[in-house]
Amino acid sequence: MRTAIRSFSDGWRWGREALALWRTAPLLTGYLSFGYLLGLMLLSAIPLVGQVAAAAAMPILQVGVLEGMRAAERRLKAGPEVLFAGFRRPWQPLVAVGIVNLAGNLLVLFLATAIAGPLTPFKPAIQPAPELDGALTMGVVPDLWPLALFFLLSLPVTAAYWFAPPLIAWHQVPWPKALFFSLYATLRNWAALLGWFLFMGLVIGSGALIAALAGTLLHPFLLTLGMVLLPMVIIPILFASYYRQVTDLFVP
């Protein structure tokens, strides 16, 4: 297996190719994306063990999403069972990276909370109230530092996990090495991933702006309709672009 190095423009290409893949099979890509999210939500709702079960199943379902995207790209027929294709492979290594990812994020949460306090965008503060003749009142002020710290500390954990499931399932890489090579590929392709991130931000922002303008200029219902339909398009494109990253960066 060889890890390719891509440029900033390749990140935009991933987004364009993902859009084309979604247009080729909107129903299949939509089923894969929302089936994956629904499965994780149902697992996480299990009392006591829900978060652990969801973390263990996440990479397995992730492989199913990738298998379905590959079928969509090749214009093959795929039934609902494709989402669970990860269970047809040795699933223990996939569960291992899921648990490691959960443990890493819990450690990051602990560190961020210990350093910056609770992860809330606001913090209580005592403020003057002119309308009360100079009296002081309890209010809240914006405080994004805890969330920003958590985001920064979680980047290495996310990078180590990002490509690990397909490396295990499609390239038979042992799970500890898969975590390392995922981190390596993410760092080496930071420019391409940044380009993809900006492309998706532009698509999401453009869709929201169009919905807002339609709701303002034509009818308020169009804003509501747009906010409902936008995720139904954006989320499958996100998953399809992840598939394009995997197939473009890792060459047998």
Model-level pTM greater than 0.85? yes
Determine, yes or no, domain membership for 20.
yes
Q: What is the rounded CA–CA span in Å between residue 32 and residue 84? A: 10
Determine, yes or no, domain membership for 198.
yes
Determine, yes or no, domain membership for 105.
yes
Question: Considering Cα of 109, then 110, then 116, then 122, what sign does the dihedral take?
Answer: positive
pLDDT tens digits for range 161-216: 999 999 999 999 999 999 999 999 999 999 999 999 999 999 999 999 998 998 88
The token pair at 203 is: 């698509």
DSSP 8-state secondary structure symbol assigned to residue 122: E
Higher per-residue pLDDT: 133 or 71: 71
Domain hosting 92: range is 2-118+149-251
Determine, yes or no, domain membership for 107.
yes
Q: Assign 74 a pLDDT band (cuts: 50, 70, 90).
A: very high
pLDDT tens digits for range 94-133: 999 999 999 999 999 999 888 887 777 767 666 565 555 5
Determine, yes or no, domain membership for 205.
yes
Three-class DSSP category at 231: helix
Average pLDDT over residues 45-60: 94
Determine, yes or no, domain membership for 36.
yes
Q: What is the rounded CA–CA span in Å between residue 152 and residue 157? A: 10
Number of domains in the chain: 1
Determine, yes or no, domain membership for 239.
yes
